Amino acid sequence: SFHWTVDNKPLPLVNNSRIQLLTNGSLYFKKVYHKRSGQGPSDQGVYRCIIRTSTGALVSQPAHLRFASMSHEFLVNGRSVSVVEGDPAVLPCSIESLPPADIKWQYNSQPLLQSNRYIILDNGTLIIKQVQKEDEGDYSCIAWNSLVNKTRVSDVSPLSVETRTSPSPLEILIPGTLRTNWTLGDNVTLACVAKGTPTPTVKWTKLLPDQSSGLVTDVTEG
C-alpha cells in the first residue's frame, strides 16, 4: 500500500477531496495552497512516499514542493565601483528568486554587447576583465523569473576607471565560486578574480578524490 508524509508527518488522504492518491501511488493536487504572511494552510514542504508490503517498507527520496517567488529588492543595489585601468571589475547583481532569475546586463541603458571580456556568474555578478577607459559608464542588471513572469531592474551602478600610477598589491576579489553542489551534466563556472601589479598569474589545483595530498595543477588565465 502507498502512504505519504509531508515534513515527516503523515499526510491525511482519507476524505480529502483536494489531494488524491492515484493508483500508481502518485499524489494529485486539484489545487495547491500557499501560505502568505503567516495566514492559512500551505502545501509547501518535503514529501516522501512510503510503500508498505508484507515483508517491510520502502521510503522514496524526498520531493520538495516549493512555490516560485521573487524578491522586490536586490540584495546589493546601485553600488558605485571604481577600478584601475587593466584590473578586473566586479559588479554584483544578487536577488532572491525561485527558480533562479535569468540575469541580463545593461550599459548606459542599452543591452550589454557580448564580449570575451565579460563573464556573468551563476549569481548574476558581472566580471569585466582588463577594464579599459571606454568601459566607464552606468551599469544595471535585469532579473527575470519566468514562472512568476516578473522582472526587476536594479539601480544604476556607475563604473569609473582610474589611470594606474604605481604598483598595487595582490588582491583576490572573488575567492572561487559561492555554489558547491551541482547536478551531473551541469555547466560549471569557477571564478577566481584577482588584481595586482604586475598582473597576477592564476593557478587552479584539483585534489584527487582518493588522495589527501596528490594535486593535479592546471595553469589558466583565471
How far is C-alpha 109 from the geometric centre of its chain's CA atoms?
Answer: 24
How many CA atoms lie less than 13 Å away from 209 in the CB half-sphere? 0
Question: Does 88 score more than 70 pLDDT?
Answer: yes
Q: Please give the average per-residue pLDDT across 185-208, as a whole number.
A: 72
The answer to whether the CB of 68 falls within 8 A of the CB of 144 is: no
3-state secondary structure of 134: helix
For residues 41 and 117, membership in a common domain is answered with no
Q: What is the DSSP letter of 222?
A: -
Question: Does 194 score more than 80 pLDDT?
Answer: no
Determine the pLDDT at residue 222: 46
Determine the pLDDT at residue 218: 53
3-state secondary structure of 161: strand
Dmax (CA) for the chain in angstroms is 80
Among 104-118, 127-141, 152-166, 173-187, where is mean pLDDT lowest?
A: 173-187
Per-residue CA distances from 115 to 13, 95, 118, 135, 164 (Å): 55, 24, 5, 12, 23
For residues 44 and 78, membership in a common domain is answered with no
For residues 80 and 158, membership in a common domain is answered with yes
For residues 99 and 57, membership in a common domain is answered with no
The answer to whether the CB of 93 falls within 8 A of the CB of 143 is: yes
Note down the domain range covering 154.
70-166
214 belongs to a structural domain: no
Instruction: For residue 44, give the CATH number of its domain.
Output: 2.60.40.10
- In the chain, the number of structural domains is 2
pLDDT tens, position by position, 167-183? 666 666 665 545 666 67
What pTM did the predictor assign? 0.67
Q: Which residue would you say has higher pLDDT here, 25 or 36?
A: 25
State residue 134 phi and psi, 5-degree precision: -75, -5
pLDDT tens, position by position, 135-163? 999 999 999 999 999 999 999 999 999 98
Q: Which amino acid is at 20?
A: Q
Q: Cell triple for residue 32?
A: 495547491
For residues 29 and 58, membership in a common domain is answered with yes
For residues 75 and 141, membership in a common domain is answered with yes
206 belongs to a structural domain: no
